Structure 1
Amino acid sequence: MKNIVRAVTDLDQAPHLHLARILILLHAFRRGSQGGPVEGLTKLAKLDFLLRYPVMLQKALEVRGRSTSDVYLEPHELMSVESQMVRYRFGPWDHRYREFLNILVAKGLAAVSVEGRKVVISITDTGSRVAGDLASSVQFESHAARSQVLKRHLDLSATNLMNFIYETFPEVVSLKYNAPIPT
C-alpha cells in the first residue's frame, strides 16, 4: 500500500502530466477560426479546473444546457481526480501555474506576454505539434476530447468564466483559502 501512495504522490509532484494537460488545453484553444491564446491566468486556472475535475465539467455542461456525451467519464473519475487543486482568491487554483508556464516557455512550447494587467498564454508551432502528438495518444485522448468540449462550450471571458464557476460550484468558493478541492 505504501508504494501506491508514494507513486500517486510522486505523480502529482512531477510536472510532466501537468505540462501535457496544459499544452493540450492551449492547443484546443488555438485551433479553429475562433482560435487564439488563453487570456489570463484566471481563465487558464478555471479551464484547467474543469479539465482536472471531469465530474465538475459534466455538471457545468448540464447547467449550460449542453450535451455531456463528449466528456467520457471513466468509473474511477467519479470518485477521484488526477491532481487536486486548492481554493484560492479567485476560486480553483494550483500554485504551480507560473512554474508550469515557465517550463513550457523554456522548452519553446508556449509563449507568455503581458497586455496591460492580463497575462496572455499562447502555444507555439512546436508546442502545437507536440500537443497534437500527445492528444492522439491513448493516455491523453480524454484530455484532448474534454479540451475541445471546453473550447466549444465554455470559451468565455475570464470574468464570465469565474462568475460561472462561482455560481455553479458554490461549494468550491465556500472553502477556506488553500483548502484542497474535493472530488
Structure 2
Amino acid sequence: MDKKVNFTEDFFDILIKNEVVMEAAPLDEQQEYIQPDDDFDFHAYRILLLIRICGIINEPFFSKSTIYGRGKFSFFDFLIRYPFYLKRVIDIEKKTKLLDDLKLKSFESERALSPMIKYIRGPWDHRYDAILNYMVSKGLIRVEFNNFNKNKKAMCLTLTKLGSKISEQIIEEEPVWVDRMEIINAIFPKNSTNERINDYIRKHFPSLMLGIEGE
C-alpha cells in the first residue's frame, strides 16, 4: 500500500482514538466572508453616491440626479475605484490645487482596489449588469436608454426617491469619496457627453481600451 495512504489513515486513526473534535460554530451562527468586490451592496453604496455627486438634473428629461452615458459612468466609477488614475488626470490637466482634496493613501497608489476589464471604449466591470439590476430591484435607481437632451439618447442611471434619500446619508459618511467625486466635477463638466469622455480616454489612456496597447 502506498506510504501516503498509510500516513493518511494513521492520521485519522489518531484523531478518532483521541476523540478530537473540530471546533465549528453552529450553522445558524456561521458567517460567510464576502470579498468587498463581490459584495453588490458595496458597489451599490459607491454608485449611489457617484450618481448623486456627479449626476445632473436636467428637466424635463430627468428631475433627479442622473448620469447619462455608459462609458462616462464606467470611467467616472473607474477613477473612484482606481484613485491613482484620478491623480494622473489631475496631473494631465495641470490642476495641482485639486491634489489637496484627493487625499491619496500610499496603498492606493500601488495597486487597484478591484479588477476592471478593458472594453471597446474604456474600462468596464463585467458585473455591472448584475449590480445595476440589483440596484433596480431594490428601488434605488432607474436604468433607461432615454433622451438626455432633445436630440440625443444614452443609457441613463437615475436615482429614485429612495436612492436620493440614501445617497444623502452616504454623503455624511464618505467625505473622502465626496471630495474625489467633486474633483471629477471640477475636471469634467456634468453635462459632458459620452463622446467627449471616450475621446479623453483614447487620447490620454489608450491602454484602457480594448485592442489598443501602450499609453
Provide TM-score, normalisation by structure 1: 0.80
* Residue of structure 2 in register with 1:17 after alignment: 42
Inter-CA distance 50–13: structure 2 relative to 1 (3 Å threshold): same
* Residue of structure 2 in register with 1:181 after alignment: none
Q: In the alignment, is the contact (CA less than 8 A) between 2:67 and 2:156 conserved in 1?
A: yes
Q: In the alignment, is the contact (CA less than 8 A) between 1:87 and 1:176 conserved in 2?
A: no
Q: Does 1:161 align with 2:190?
A: no
Q: Does 1:147 align with 2:176?
A: no
Q: Which whole-Å deviations, capped at 9, do the CAs of 1:113-139 have from their partners, x for residues lacking one?
A: 2126521111123212211212222xx
RMSD across aligned C-alpha pairs, in angstroms?
Answer: 2.7
Structure-2 separation of matches of 1:145 and 1:175: 33
Structure-2 separation of matches of 1:38 and 1:147: 13
Question: Residue 98 of structure 1 aligns to a residue in which SS?
Answer: helix
Structure-1 separation of matches of 2:120 and 2:207: 14
Q: Does 1:88 align with 2:112?
A: no
Q: In the alignment, is the contact (CA less than 8 A) between 1:30 and 1:123 conserved in 2?
A: no
For 1:70, the aligned partner's letter is D
For 2:51, the aligned partner's letter is L
Say which structure, 1 or 2, has more relative contact order (CA 8 Å, 6+ apart): 1
Structure-1 separation of matches of 2:158 and 2:172: 20
Inter-CA distance 106–77: structure 2 relative to 1 (3 Å threshold): same
Structure-2 separation of matches of 1:58 and 1:73: 8
Identity of aligned residues (%): 25
* Residue of structure 1 in register with 2:171 after alignment: 135
* Residue of structure 2 in register with 1:63 after alignment: 92
Gap runs ≥5 in structure 1: 1-5, 178-183
For 1:71, the aligned partner's letter is L
For 2:195, the aligned partner's letter is T
Gap runs ≥5 in structure 2: 1-31, 148-152
Question: Residue 69 of structure 1 aligns to a residue in which SS?
Answer: helix
Which has the greater radius of gyration?
Answer: 2
* Equivalent residue for 1:47, pick from 54, 76, 82: 76
Deviation at residue 50 of structure 1 after TM alignment: 0.9
Structure-1 separation of matches of 2:56 and 2:73: 16
Structure-2 separation of matches of 1:33 and 1:113: 15
Inter-CA distance 31–129: structure 2 relative to 1 (3 Å threshold): farther
Deviation at residue 172 of structure 1 after TM alignment: 2.5
Inter-CA distance 56–86: structure 2 relative to 1 (3 Å threshold): same
Structure-1 separation of matches of 2:198 and 2:177: 21
* Residue of structure 2 in register with 1:3 after alignment: none
Provide TM-score, normalisation by structure 2: 0.69
Question: Residue 62 of structure 1 aligns to a residue in which SS?
Answer: helix
Deviation at residue 176 of structure 1 after TM alignment: 7.3
Deviates more, 1:12-21 or 1:168-177: 168-177
